[in-house]
Structure 1
Amino acid sequence: MHRRRLTPTRQQLRWTVLVLLSIVLSIAFDATGVPAARLLGPMVAAILMALSGSDVSVPRLGFVGAQGVIGCLIARGVPVSILSTLSEHWLVFIVGVLAVTVLANALGWALSHWNVLPGDTAVWGSAPGAASAMMIMAEAHGSDVRLVAFMQYLRVVCVSFTASLVAHWWMRSSGAAPAAAVSASLLQPPGDWGGLLATLAVALGGAVIGARLRLPAGGLLLPMLAGFVLQDFAHIHIELPPLMLAVAYAFVGWTIGMRFNREVLRVTLKSLPQVLAAIFLLILACGAFAAALVRWAHVDPLTAYLATSPGGADSVAIIAASTPVDVPFVLTMQVLRMLFVMATGPTIARTLASHLHRRKHRV
């Protein structure tokens, strides 16, 4: 009888390289004190492999489950006191949500007006948050989903890196210590096994149901809402051990990073400088608005910066959880803007696209 040789497949080898590279980069980022190292390491590793032509097929179920875990992370960070936070800062939240949304859509309109990107694609791609929801809606309205995904996830990458660097710089200059969750050992056991089982049921079950129902960003929103109920009304502790969070961060980072493969880069290479310029202009404009919050609303600088960062809510939640900020304020602003964008995104995109279409026909 001949023994069959167990040789690894190409995908298995690529997965091995991806995991090892993610670990090395995460340790390197962590050693330099950059927040959210466990998100940035896998993200950079995936980008490097995708650009080198060594794409890895990240299971959609893994990403959906990771979104569920991040949804529970947001629910834990925004307790029932969100109502008092809203009543205390309602004007700040309204102005913040509207300002970032208007800025982002204005830049999307400009990219479309200058023929950098076709039709309403630039408008969908510029929506500040809910990247997966914007892709679903854009595809349903006939836009080029590859370009929308490219713009959305390029912004997420740029915002993640700039927010992490700003947080790192701020903590060093102010002498603030990073949140304890970052330095926790990956092998630290759960403090509440019952809470862990309930959290897993909410995170994974809610994410799968949200995805099956094809709700925009359902994999994040449904577990987040269920997490609120679990924590604030059923009084069950949301237990998120460091290892579970690290795996979720990795799947989010890999999914984002793998969007930047050679094929997408070929399609978008011509528009890349203008899109990057628009993204960094948006980040600077949001930073200016954060400075206004510091001056007139007396919000601390790092909290204001993360609260006004233009998406996505999941990556900003990860950074906020690893920095000494007012987490409920940051996450409330991010979640409100995500819900507002999801509710108004289709109408805004259609209105701006029809305006551009009429204008071009007149010319």
Structure 2
Amino acid sequence: MRIVSMGLVLIISLIGVFIFKSLNLPIPWMLGPLIVMLISQFFIRKINLEWPQSLRNLGLVIVGVAIGQSFQFDLFAGMGWIILIMFAMNISLTAFSVGVSYVVQRIGNIPLKTSLTCTVPGGLSQIVTFAEEEKDINLAMVTYFHVIRVISIVVLIPFIVSGHVVSGMEGSGFKLETVLPLIILIAVAWLSALIGKKVKLPVSFFLGPVFLIIFFQFIHIETPEVPLWLLNIAQIFLGAYIGLLLKPHMVKVGARILFLGIASSIVLLLFTYIQSLILVFFLQYSLPTSFLSTAAGGLDQMSLIATSVGADISVVTVFQMFRLLFVFIVTIPLLKVACAWIDRRNSQKQRNEVDISKT
């Protein structure tokens, strides 16, 4: 039955590619499967649509290799100034998301811990894991908010920057003699991802191959170029997986919460767009490079979109890696402190109410 489900997902994904290519829409190999898959599962109820995480991981490995091969070392020449900008942008984004959480709390009548966790600009998997570990947090609501954020960013950004595309990624066609070297390269990259997972490297199936290929470049080991057809396959794998993130049961959270999830994602997207204009002004990056660098999307998705729209992959990857580290080192610890403070405040409030009732 799982084979039938996966086969159906693949067919739906290919239909999405065909529709997007026919309409000349941006990034058809990822957005086509994502959007058509997202819509299809709300109508296909008799079959439980599945797409294994292992295929998503394989897609990440392929994209990671391609990103590593495109990385430019000269970016690090002016890194001191760029680090200050990245710090300022991440701090302001975190502060802005806290403000959004208070609005979400007021309008949605949501507990503060839940609203903070819903709006904090962290990675989907990291924030959901945090929510699972904390008490008194509505996990379903947090998952919905972050899934909506990821999907809205991945879907909307290509349309926003499509009019500013410099040049799409070019790649070689299918050549039989390159298949074996590519298989070996992907296998070695997969091994690096497993090692990264062992040492707790975030997004290890993406960053493991990226670091591996950058290391190969540093010691002047040549690797076979990832052809466009293989990158297209990786995009289908990722698009189908992301499209299945939003499950039908998530939309049962209520109309007000549905609206708040979408609205908060759009507001966050607008804020990062303003940040991207600042990068364009001060660092003279192109709009696609700047927007993909500041967007609060996943490192892997933003880097993949960068390859498709001709953005500076090195800049996008470095900015998104910094944001990921900022989430781990600053955002999540601060969120834990905030949740602990809220717990203490609520406990004190309950004790005061008990004391008043006794008197």
Shorter chain as denominator, the TM-score bin is 0.7 to 0.9
Shift in CA distance, 55/238, structure 1 to aligned 2, threshold 3 Å: farther
Q: Check the 8 A contact 2:8/2:49 in 1, yes or no.
A: no
Residues 295-325 of structure 1: CA deviation (Å, up to 9, x unaligned): 2333222221221111111111111101132
Residues 263-308 of structure 1: CA deviation (Å, up to 9, x unaligned): 2222365411011111101111111121222223332222212211
1:30 and 2:21 correspond: yes
Letter in 1 for 2:185: T
TM-score relative to the length of structure 2: 0.83
- CA distance in structure 1 between the aligned counterparts of 2:176 and 2:152, rounded to whole angstroms: 33
For 1:180, what is the secondary structure of its paired residue?
Answer: coil
Q: Check the 8 A contact 1:179/1:322 in 2, yes or no.
A: yes
Q: Which has the higher contact order (CA 8 A, sep 6+)?
A: 1
Q: Check the 8 A contact 1:47/1:260 in 2, yes or no.
A: yes
Choose which of 129, 150, 158 in structure 2 pairs with 1:156: 150
**Greater share of helix:** 2
Larger radius of gyration: 2
Choose which of 146, 164, 168 in structure 1 pairs with 2:162: 168
Displacement, 1:42? 1.6
Matched residue count: 346
- CA distance in structure 1 between the aligned counterparts of 2:288 and 2:103, rounded to whole angstroms: 29
Displacement, 1:201? 2.4
For 2:297, what is the secondary structure of its paired residue?
Answer: coil
- CA distance in structure 2 between the aligned counterparts of 1:104 and 1:70, rounded to whole angstroms: 30
Query: Which residue of structure 2 aligns with residue 334 of structure 1?
Result: 320
- Which shows bigger deviation, 107-116 or 255-264? 107-116
Letter in 1 for 2:142: V
1:78 and 2:71 correspond: yes
Query: Which residue of structure 2 aligns with residue 147 of structure 1?
Result: 141
Displacement, 1:198? 4.7
Residues 24-65 of structure 1: CA deviation (Å, up to 9, x unaligned): 221322344433221111211321232223432221222223
Q: Percent identity?
A: 19
For 1:235, what is the secondary structure of its paired residue?
Answer: coil
- CA distance in structure 1 between the aligned counterparts of 2:114 and 2:296, rounded to whole angstroms: 18
Q: How does 1:1-363 map to 2 (within 5 A)?
A: 9=1, 11-52=2-43, 53=45, 54-87=47-80, 89-112=82-105, 116-118=109-111, 120-142=113-135, 143-171=137-165, 176-181=166-171, 188-189=174-175, 196-211=182-197, 215-233=201-219, 235-237=221-223, 239-267=225-253, 269-357=255-343
- CA distance in structure 2 between the aligned counterparts of 1:294 and 1:178, rounded to whole angstroms: 20
Displacement, 1:194? 6.9
Query: Which residue of structure 2 aligns with residue 3 of structure 1?
Result: none
Give unmatched runs, 5+ long, in structure 2: 351-359
Shift in CA distance, 149/220, structure 1 to aligned 2, threshold 3 Å: farther
- CA distance in structure 1 between the aligned counterparts of 2:110 and 2:217, rounded to whole angstroms: 44
Shift in CA distance, 113/231, structure 1 to aligned 2, threshold 3 Å: farther
Letter in 1 for 2:253: V
For 1:135, what is the secondary structure of its paired residue?
Answer: helix
Residues 197-245 of structure 1: CA deviation (Å, up to 9, x unaligned): 4531243223334446665433333333223223323523263233332
